[in-house]
Chains A and B, each alone.
Chain A
Amino acid sequence: MPVLKPLSGNPERPQQYKQPSRKGKKAWRKNVDVSDVVKGLEEVNEQIIKGGVIAEKESAQLFTLDLVGDAALPKKFPKHIKKGLKADEIIAARSAVAAVPMRKRSGDKTTDGILPVKRLKTDYVTHKELTRLKKVADGRHESTIEVVDADHDAWAVVEESEEKKEMFAFLPKIEKAKAPKTMHRKPITLAANGKFVPAIPKPKAGHSYNPAFEDYRDRLIEESDKVVAVERKRIADLEAERVKLEASIKSAAEAEAVEARADMSEWEEDSAWEGFESGGEELVGKAKRPGRKTQAQRNKIKRRKEEERKVKHGAIIKKKQQQSERIKQIALEVAEAERAMELAKVVLDDEEEEGNDEELRRRQLGKFRLPEKDLELVLPDELQDSLRLLKPEGDLLKDRYRNMLVRGKLESRRRLPFRKQANVKITEKWTYKDFKLD
């Protein structure tokens, strides 16, 4: 008996899906893909089965308006579903009184007829106060401590009463931190001899407003010697600088000359004949065979020798002159040394007792060197014997400050009138200058 089988193979017609149209010659031979059309047809059939084509129906037949909502939901999620909208809530909470206007000056001039009450501003801060506050915020306040009149004897022996002691006997005694021994060490003096410098040095006789002649003369000479020594040193330094500069210029010129000579070496041999030999280049010519010299040659040699002799003589004379000048210089130096010795003596004498705040040691405290002491000297033409006519010398304020520094109480500082500012490089815009002349 033949076995019943379902129809084998694809019941549908063969399909060429990739070919949506039949444009072109070759495409005629193939079948066109109409599967979406078929699908659509099937869908329409189904809709008809279910009660009609949807697209042809009216929307009222398709939708209903649900005005109630799901009654089960609030029961299901009581937390998540609120009673009303937030907007409703806000609107409901609004006060019946009109809101305070945010503007300082109301735009429209309409009022409610009630005059507003003027209130005094109690928390007003004046401009002056404000600048002061800004300063304080910047760390520039007046003082951190208060200075009050003494109301007790600071050095009195304070003894606690017995009752108080007994009352608090159970408490452990509070141990106060002890000052270390290093606190009581004396500060470093900056005097050259390392001796203690007094706060107020004893005034010498020469400092009197109406000094005795000898005292004044001694002081005047001493001070003027000092100033002269400083000036001498300055001049010597200048001179040394000048000499150095000159020497360097000279050596540069010489080097140039040597180079130039090297360039013109051909011509130099000729000059050698004239009697001037340069040390720059050695003549490594072949040794000439000795022969009889002609008269002309002899004359030439004679001339050359004469020239050489003259040059030598000139050099010797020059040297002598230099030496004589040097003698003068040495004499000057000796005189200066003697003067320095005299000065040293003066220092030696007052060195005995205490430090001198004019001569300081080399190493100092802090970044800056100490300011020089003012010259406290009334010049002879200004010297008066009347107190009324006295022109006070020196600056006490500076003097006090310097004294503190010399006694090593502080490190030296320098006032910076302006804060260091960032470097700004200024350039010019050049583009506008790029123009042409017609």
Chain B
Amino acid sequence: MAKIRRRGQTGQAKNYVTRSQAVKKLQISLPDFRKLCIWKGIYPREPRNKRKVTKSVTASTTFYYTKDIQYLLHEPLLAKFREQKVLEKKISKALGRGDNSDAARWERNAARPEATGKPRYTLNHVIRERYPTFIDAVRDLDDCLSMLFLFANLPSTSAVPAKMIARCERLCLEFQHYLIVSNNLRKSFLSIKGIYYQANIQGEDVLWLVPYKFNQRIVGDVDFRIMGTFVEFYMTLLSFVNYRLFTSIGIKYPPKFDQLKDEQGAELGAFSLEGVNIATDGDEMKAITNGESQHGPDPKVQAAVDKIVKQLKADNAKGEKSTEVAEAADEEEGEQASDSIDKFEPVAPGGDVLPQPTQGSGNVSQLFDKFTVYLSRETPRQPLEFLLRAFGCRRIGWDSVLGEGSFTADESDPSITHQIVDRPVVQAVNGTEDNGEDNQTSQKIAQNQRYPGRIYVQPQWVWDCVNNEELESPELYAPGAGLPPHLSPFVKTANGQYDPTLPLDAQETEAEALDSKMEDDAENANDEEQEQSDEDVANDMDVDSANDDESEVSEVDAEEFGGVSDDDVEEDEEEAAILQRQREVEAELSGKSVKSKSADAKTKSKLEQKKVLEKKAREEAEDLERAKGMLSKKKRKLFEQMQYSNKKKSTEDTMLRAKRRKLEKEQKKARATLA
């Protein structure tokens, strides 16, 4: 017989503890416990059976793993919490006695570790513990960045001290500097909530959300103590991540920060980056200089040189650093090697020519390289500046209202190539704008009047250029023009879904392609006929549309009754025959010969292809039907729902594509007639 065990000695009762038990065990207060859990990454858990853990359990009891709590006992931060508790007691005792100066002294000394001999407590050790590798940290950067960017934009209150906000802002700006230098920013999206950014850091996609400026309300139902605890942790994390990122591209961390410039609202311009150059001992500065004073070498070349110098030094002097540097160098080399895109080569000689992946048109990271951009007063400066700089723009000017650090605050600067405006076009002025002579001669440029020789665009142009990795035509984004929709670059288009950005051939299904080709053929034939006689244009068009309708009907039929009717093939044949007959009759009526046989053969082969496709689709549908029979009732229903909605969507998509096809055709025709 198995040994009889007492209740509460094994299993769930042993593996879990309630929160109050944990607090009692650690001998700290509940808020402190909460903080510790957030910093150490200890989350509430859920036992399979709550009753088995403790008898006195309510629905809201929170549980933790016993082992986690046991491990917390080793935490040095725990000592800090206890010290704090002792200090509180001392202070309250002194205050109670009326010895205010004593209380003040206790408090003052506690903040000076050099005076008390007690260690400084930071979260540095927790970072490595929670993220054993750098990649782990990068993966968790989404939350960190969103939180810090959010706090950087909050107004300071008693709950959120100004110091914390300033620090958040600094860290965020540093991170932005890294992205600018390394050209790692990939996408950005203007949503109704805020601005999304996506960067690629060491192969990991990092997505974060930045609020619009001056939009944050402080609401009551957010616990700022908890948020503050998270922010404290994330500040430490981002600081370390920044250190690693900066050193990986050969820049000294922390970068030099100009307090005066920051107070004048320079933001990104308040930092000046310094290369970790051993040979010149960091003499060379790399501030954001707006291009005019940038005589330094190319950052990449600089980094390479730095590396070589480092290696030389490492060889000469043996030390602890040598391995590290070499490792870093190795890593970088590996990254550089992986940067180039693989080429697809046919396996056998004479195989298909495979489409080669390209890195976009030209160098995406230098998209705005040649431009000098001026931001008008009403545009959001921070995101635009960051985005433009991250994609290669070096000369950005803005109105002095928007802060310090612009390339030029003078709107009339002749070197400006692009101006970003977001002002409505006033109608009254619009009329006078037509006589451009007046504008140029007038001394002061009035509202709604333009400088010649530069392109005016709305802010969305920048975002769309970045997301499409090419320069969009600025006419679409001219001030006052109805902007094209701003599409989310994060939406994954499902198979067969209509995508307005792709060309038609890339997204239409085989059946659709065949249909369109057949239509084209018919039209071509019609055109030929048209050349022969221009009389029966209207008639032809009618036929065309009739054909269209028929083909659509047949498609829908095939989709709806797929798998049910077996004599579809015969029907199709009949249809083809009917079509043929109809054409003959029409030809007779219009007094022309029937189309040549070659064309007939073409259509025939296409019809056959279509038949094959339909047969395939039918078979697939049958298979699905069979598989559906094996599902449980509930799942079958779910599946049917899904199928229904998918079908609805796909019909919508085909309709959209058909619409576009028609439009394109008309355009082509118009162009042909013009030519």
Contacts A124-B101, A142-B161, A208-B486 known; A348 to B638 CB distance under 8 Å? Answer: yes
Q: A281 in the interface, Cβ–Cβ < 8 Å?
A: no
Instruction: Kindly identify which residue among A152, A161, A209, A213 contacts B191, using a CB–CB cutoff of 8 Å.
Output: A209
Residues of B within 8 A of A392 (CB): 192-194, 211-212, 215
Assess whether B95 is in contact with A137, with CB atoms less than 8 Å apart: yes
Q: B580 in the interface, Cβ–Cβ < 8 Å?
A: no
Q: Top 10 nearest A-B pairs by Cβ distance?
A: A123-B101, A187-B43, A137-B92, A367-B60, A212-B485, A199-B143, A180-B67, A150-B243, A202-B490, A125-B100
Assess whether B190 is in contact with A387, with CB atoms less than 8 Å apart: yes
Q: B439 in the interface, Cβ–Cβ < 8 Å?
A: no
Interface 9-mer from A88-96, A111-119, A249-257, A393-401:
A393-401
Q: A155 in the interface, Cβ–Cβ < 8 Å?
A: yes
Residues of A within 8 A of B218 (CB): 397
Residues of A within 8 A of B323 (CB): 157, 159
Q: B509 in the interface, Cβ–Cβ < 8 Å?
A: no
Assess whether B242 is in contact with A212, with CB atoms less than 8 Å apart: no
Assess whether A187 is in contact with B211, with CB atoms less than 8 Å apart: no
A-B contact pairs, 18 of them (CB 8 A): A137-B92, A145-B123, A148-B239, A150-B242, A155-B244, A156-B324, A177-B74, A183-B67, A188-B45, A208-B485, A363-B46, A367-B60, A376-B192, A387-B422, A388-B422, A397-B216, A410-B226, A415-B220
Interface 9-mer from A127-135, A234-242, A268-276:
A127-135
State how many angstroms separate the Cβ of B141 from the closest Cβ of chain A.
9
The chain B residue with its CB closest to the CB of A345 is: B645
Bound CA span A266–B190, Å: 85
State how many angstroms separate the Cβ of B112 from the closest Cβ of chain A.
12
Residues of B within 8 A of A52 (CB): none
Q: A192 in the interface, Cβ–Cβ < 8 Å?
A: no
Chain B residues numbered 193-252 whose CB sits less than 8 Å from any CB in chain A: 193-194, 196, 207-209, 211-212, 215-223, 226-227, 230, 232, 235-236, 239-240, 242-244, 247
Bound CA span A379–B37, Å: 41
Assess whether A145 is in contact with B500, with CB atoms less than 8 Å apart: no
Assess whether A146 is in contact with B121, with CB atoms less than 8 Å apart: yes
Residues of B near any A CB (own CB < 8 A): 29, 31-32, 34-35, 38, 40-46, 60, 62, 65, 67-68, 70-71, 74, 77, 80-81, 84, 87-88, 91-92, 95, 100-101, 103-104, 107, 120-124, 127-129, 131, 133-134, 137, 140, 142-143, 146-147, 150, 154, 161, 167, 189-194, 196, 207-209, 211-212, 215-223, 226-227, 230, 232, 235-236, 239-240, 242-244, 247, 253-254, 320, 323-324, 327, 378-380, 422-424, 458-460, 482-483, 485-488, 490-491, 500, 638, 641-642, 644-645
Assess whether A145 is in contact with B379, with CB atoms less than 8 Å apart: no
Residues of A within 8 A of B209 (CB): 200, 396
Chain A residues numbered 313-358 whose CB sits less than 8 Å from any CB in chain B: 341, 344-346, 348-349
Residues of B within 8 A of A210 (CB): 190, 460, 483, 485-486
State how many angstroms separate the Cβ of B230 from the closest Cβ of chain A.
7
Assess whether A396 is in contact with B71, with CB atoms less than 8 Å apart: no
Bound CA span A29–B187, Å: 142
Contacts A137-B92, A157-B327, A404-B230 known; A149 to B487 CB distance under 8 Å? Answer: no
The chain B residue with its CB closest to the CB of A208 is: B486
Instruction: Kindly identify which residue among A150, A154, A213 contacts B485, using a CB–CB cutoff of 8 Å.
Output: A213
Assess whether A396 is in contact with B422, with CB atoms less than 8 Å apart: no
Instruction: Kindly identify which residue among B68, B253, B483 contacts A182, using a CB–CB cutoff of 8 Å.
Output: B68
Instruction: Kindly identify which residue among A139, A159, A177, A394 contacts B192, using a CB–CB cutoff of 8 Å.
Output: A394
Q: A261 in the interface, Cβ–Cβ < 8 Å?
A: no
Contacts A137-B103, A180-B67 known; A148 to B192 CB distance under 8 Å? Answer: no
Residues of B within 8 A of A155 (CB): 128, 131, 133-134, 137, 240, 244
Bound CA span A141–B236, Å: 20
Q: A205 in the interface, Cβ–Cβ < 8 Å?
A: yes
Assess whether B44 is in contact with A137, with CB atoms less than 8 Å apart: no
State how many angstroms separate the Cβ of A180 from the closest Cβ of chain B.
4
Instruction: Kindly identify which residue among A177, A205, A415 contacts B487, using a CB–CB cutoff of 8 Å.
Output: A205
Bound CA span A344–B62, Å: 32
Residues of A within 8 A of B378 (CB): 388
Assess whether B71 is in contact with A137, with CB atoms less than 8 Å apart: no
Assess whether A212 is in contact with B227, with CB atoms less than 8 Å apart: no
Assess whether A146 is in contact with B487, with CB atoms less than 8 Å apart: no
The chain A residue with its CB closest to the CB of B31 is: A139
Bound CA span A346–B644, Å: 11
Q: A147 in the interface, Cβ–Cβ < 8 Å?
A: yes
Assess whether B192 is in contact with A401, with CB atoms less than 8 Å apart: no
State how many angstroms separate the Cβ of A413 from the closest Cβ of chain B.
5
Contacts A161-B320, A388-B379 known; A136 to B68 CB distance under 8 Å? Answer: no
Q: A409 in the interface, Cβ–Cβ < 8 Å?
A: yes
Contacts A137-B92, A150-B253 known; A207 to B193 CB distance under 8 Å? Answer: yes
Residues of B within 8 A of A187 (CB): 43-44
Residues of B within 8 A of A124 (CB): 101
Residues of B within 8 A of A142 (CB): 161
Bound CA span A376–B192, Å: 8
Bound CA span A141–B110, Å: 12
Chain A residues numbered 136-191 whose CB sits less than 8 Å from any CB in chain B: 136-139, 141-157, 159, 161, 177, 179-183, 185, 187-188
Contacts A125-B103, A144-B35 known; A133 to B212 CB distance under 8 Å? Answer: no
Bound CA span A346–B648, Å: 12
Instruction: Kindly identify which residue among A151, A198, A200, A209 contacts B486, using a CB–CB cutoff of 8 Å.
Output: A209
Assess whether B212 is in contact with A348, with CB atoms less than 8 Å apart: no
Residues of A within 8 A of B143 (CB): 199-200, 403
Residues of A within 8 A of B74 (CB): 177
Bound CA span A202–B493, Å: 13
Chain A residues numbered 199-220 whose CB sits less than 8 Å from any CB in chain B: 199-200, 202-205, 207-213, 215
Residues of B within 8 A of A180 (CB): 65, 67-68, 70-71
Assess whether A410 is in contact with B38, with CB atoms less than 8 Å apart: yes
State how many angstroms separate the Cβ of A198 from the closest Cβ of chain B.
7
Bound CA span A341–B207, Å: 33
Chain A CB within 10 A, most for which of B34, B143, B230: B143
Residues of A within 8 A of B459 (CB): 387
B-facing mask of A224-242, CB < 8 A → 1, else 0?
0000000000000000000
Assess whether A408 is in contact with B482, with CB atoms less than 8 Å apart: no
Bound CA span A349–B219, Å: 34
Q: A371 in the interface, Cβ–Cβ < 8 Å?
A: yes
Assess whether B68 is in contact with A385, with CB atoms less than 8 Å apart: no
Instruction: Kindly identify which residue among B127, B142, B485 contacts A211, using a CB–CB cutoff of 8 Å.
Output: B485
State how many angstroms separate the Cβ of A148 from the closest Cβ of chain B.
6
Contacts A183-B71, A341-B641, A394-B193 known; A145 to B46 CB distance under 8 Å? Answer: no
Bound CA span A36–B288, Å: 129
Assess whether B124 is in contact with A211, with CB atoms less than 8 Å apart: no
State how many angstroms separate the Cβ of B262 from the closest Cβ of chain A.
16
Q: A390 in the interface, Cβ–Cβ < 8 Å?
A: yes
Contacts A139-B88, A209-B192, A378-B192 known; A144 to B81 CB distance under 8 Å? Answer: yes
Bound CA span A149–B60, Å: 40
Contacts A207-B191, A341-B641, A387-B458 known; A188 to B324 CB distance under 8 Å? Answer: no
Bound CA span A134–B134, Å: 43
B-facing mask of A10-33, CB < 8 A → 1, else 0?
000000000000000000000000
Contacts A154-B244, A155-B244, A202-B207 known; A413 to B223 CB distance under 8 Å? Answer: yes
Residues of B within 8 A of A345 (CB): 641-642, 644-645
Assess whether A147 is in contact with B232, with CB atoms less than 8 Å apart: yes
Residues of A within 8 A of B147 (CB): 400
The chain A residue with its CB closest to the CB of B238 is: A150
Assess whether A385 is in contact with B483, with CB atoms less than 8 Å apart: yes
Contacts A133-B100, A208-B485, A210-B486 known; A159 to B320 CB distance under 8 Å? Answer: yes
Residues of A within 8 A of B644 (CB): 345
Assess whether B488 is in contact with A134, with CB atoms less than 8 Å apart: no
Contacts A137-B91, A203-B196, A205-B488 known; A143 to B232 CB distance under 8 Å? Answer: yes
Q: A414 in the interface, Cβ–Cβ < 8 Å?
A: yes
Assess whether A390 is in contact with B46, with CB atoms less than 8 Å apart: no
